[in-house]
């Protein structure tokens, strides 16, 4: 099941052997693959057959991970307190991405893998500042944001960040492509309806979904997925297979529940209480 701070388990269900991830008008459907967008929507650089096969390879890997991780465990219901916990997870992942992508760029460039180096450089630019959105969201919830992210490091976020870091620092950093594709591919399954459902549980007048919106179907994320897909389609078959395996591993981490019990709202509140702002307005 999707991890409990980036995507709710209710977004994924099984329907007659198909995997469906649906939120309002945004639907990701698998019929031995997750449908993305018609290949005609993508730039005509790589032939449509290669694009289609690459899309199927990557999205089938993500679906396979979902089946592998299938569990009856459910995360606790979303509350304002738990939303701050999830925002802390967003922060830690977003904060490290630009630096890690720049490191990946350097490593790809040294190996004369120019398309991968250019892709990593672009990712570093695209993700810059997204950690600040998470901080603003946390502050909007009435807490000293910097202190919150220092105190709260959700285990799910740490697990993903460790995998991302290891991928970049591997002798061949190409696994970071699979990590990135999986993150953004699942992100575009988050639509306006889900965002509004989060806003509905927050105190009236509180704007604390900036970071979520930046990593959803209502942002440029859809274009980012298309661009990454085209870049991957231009790699060698061996490289594409390696990326697909990384998609599987990253998705497995995303979908698997924590080994330990979910943290309770009371435990989170105990951490947050000393970190409240004296004035709970932005």
What separation in angstroms does the CA of 209 have from each of 68, 195, 202? 31, 7, 10
Residue 151 forms part of a structural domain: yes
Whole domain around residue 179: which residue ranges? 9-275
Domain count, the chain: 1
Residue 280 forms part of a structural domain: no
Q: What is the mean pLDDT of residues 37-65?
A: 77
Check pLDDT > 60 for residue 3: no
DSSP annotation of 259 reads S
Q: Are 11 and 2 in contact (CB under 8 A)?
A: yes
- Residue 28: left (phi > 0), alpha (psi -120 to 50), or beta? beta
3-state secondary structure of 268: helix
Report the alpha-carbon distance of residue 142 to residue 92 in Å, rounded: 19
Q: What is the mean pLDDT of residues 256-262?
A: 89
Q: What is the pLDDT of residue 279?
A: 57
Check pLDDT > 70 for residue 42: no
Q: What is the pLDDT of residue 53?
A: 95
Both tokens of residue 267?
A: 């435990």
End-to-end CA distance of the chain: 34
Q: Mean pLDDT lowest for which of 67-71, 85-89, 206-210?
A: 67-71
Q: What is the pLDDT of residue 23?
A: 31
Say whether pTM exceeds 0.85.
no
pLDDT in tens, 135-186: 999 999 999 999 999 999 999 999 999 999 999 999 999 999 999 999 999 9
Residue 4 forms part of a structural domain: no
3-state secondary structure of 147: helix
Rounded to 10 deg, the angle between the 80-110 and 114-127 helix axes is: 150
Phi, psi at residue 29, to the nearest 5°? -115, 135
Tell me, what CATH number does 87's domain have? 1.20.910.10
Residue 68 forms part of a structural domain: yes
Residue 281 forms part of a structural domain: no
3-state secondary structure of 23: strand
Residue 2 forms part of a structural domain: no
Rounded to 10 deg, the angle between the 175-187 and 48-69 helix axes is: 80
β-pair type (18-23, 12-15): antiparallel
Residue 252 forms part of a structural domain: yes
Q: Mean pLDDT lowest for which of 2-11, 66-75, 95-104, 198-207?
A: 2-11
Q: What is the mean pLDDT of residues 120-138?
A: 96
Q: What is the mean pLDDT of residues 91-100?
A: 96
| Sign of the Cα pseudo-torsion (169, 2, 36, 58, in order) | positive
pLDDT in tens, 212-252: 999 999 988 899 999 999 999 999 999 999 999 999 999 99
Q: What is the pLDDT of residue 58?
A: 97
């Amino acid at each position: 099941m999707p991890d409990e701070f980036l995507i709710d388990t209710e977004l994924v269900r099984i329907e007659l052997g198909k995997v469906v991830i649906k939120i309002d008008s945004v639907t990701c459907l698998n019929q031995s693959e997750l449908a993305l967008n018609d290949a005609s929507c993508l730039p005509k650089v790589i032939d449509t057959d290669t694009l289609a096969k690459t899309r199927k390879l990557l999205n089938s890997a993500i679906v396979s991970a979902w089946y592998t991780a299938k569990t009856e465990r459910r995360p606790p219901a979303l509350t304002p307190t738990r939303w701050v916990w999830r925002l802390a997870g967003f922060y830690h992942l977003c904060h490290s991405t630009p630096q890690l992508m720049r490191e990946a760029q350097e490593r790809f460039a040294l190996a004369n893998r120019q398309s991968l180096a250019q892709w990593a450089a672009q990712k570093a630019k695209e993700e810059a500042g997204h950690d600040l959105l998470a901080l603003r969201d946390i502050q909007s919830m009435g807490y000293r944001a910097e202190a919150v992210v220092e105190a709260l490091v959700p285990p799910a976020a740490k697990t993903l960040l460790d995998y991302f870091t290891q991928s970049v620092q591997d002798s061949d950093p190409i696994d970071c492509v699979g990590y990135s594709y999986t993150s953004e591919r699942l992100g575009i399954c988050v639509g306006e309806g889900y965002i509004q459902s989060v806003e509905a549980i927050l105190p009236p007048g509180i704007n604390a979904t900036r970071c979520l919106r930046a990593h959803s179907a209502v942002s440029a994320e859809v274009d980012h997925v298309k661009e990454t897909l085209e870049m991957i389609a231009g790699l060698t078959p061996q490289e594409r297979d390696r990326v697909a395996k990384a998609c599987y591993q990253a998705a497995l981490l995303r979908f698997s529940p924590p080994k330990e019990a979910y943290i309770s709202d009371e435990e989170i509140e105990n951490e947050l209480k000393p970190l409240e702002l004296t004035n709970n307005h932005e």
